[in-house]
Copies of this chain bind each other. A is one copy, B any other.
Amino acid sequence: MERFTPRQKLWLEHDGRLVMSDYRVRLLELVAESGSLAHAATVLGLSYRRAWGKVKEIEANLGMPLVQSAIGGAGGGHTTLTPEGQELVRAYRRYQARLERAMAEAFEEELGGLTGPGQSVPRP
């Protein structure tokens, strides 16, 4: 248990295309936290144009408006999440948290015997 760390990556697909991921929800979350798409883009090392395109792509894939903007000066003004966008971020974070807990529990119960040299995996 102390030697091995279980890891997981989660995403949603539509027709084999990636439509939501940890990275995408992080982008939306950064917009919600800062009120600025420019700030979110900087944190993720994206150009403003690229971050904007990513948000528009997510909106198109999910079929819902996620951000709303007020016209501003340099940096693109003020951007916030729509109610749907806020709920999407909350729902996805709940989803991730549930699967983090499920992973820890399943690892402990199924693979908890993996403790290193000379050890075998006990059958529960």
Contacts and interface: CB of A to CB of B under 8 A. Distances in A.
Contacts of A87: 120-121, 123
Interface in A61-95: 62-64, 83-84, 87-88, 91-92, 94-95
A103 B111 contact: no
Interface residues of A, number: 42
Contacts of A9: 8-9
- State the oligomeric state as a number of copies: 2
A57 interface: no
B8 A13 contact: no
Nearest to A117: B63
Nearest to A5: B13
A113 B91 CA distance: 10
A3 B62 CA distance: 9
A121 B6 contact: no
Interface of A: 3-14, 19-20, 62-64, 83-84, 87-88, 91-92, 94-95, 98-99, 102-103, 106-107, 110-111, 113-114, 116-121, 123
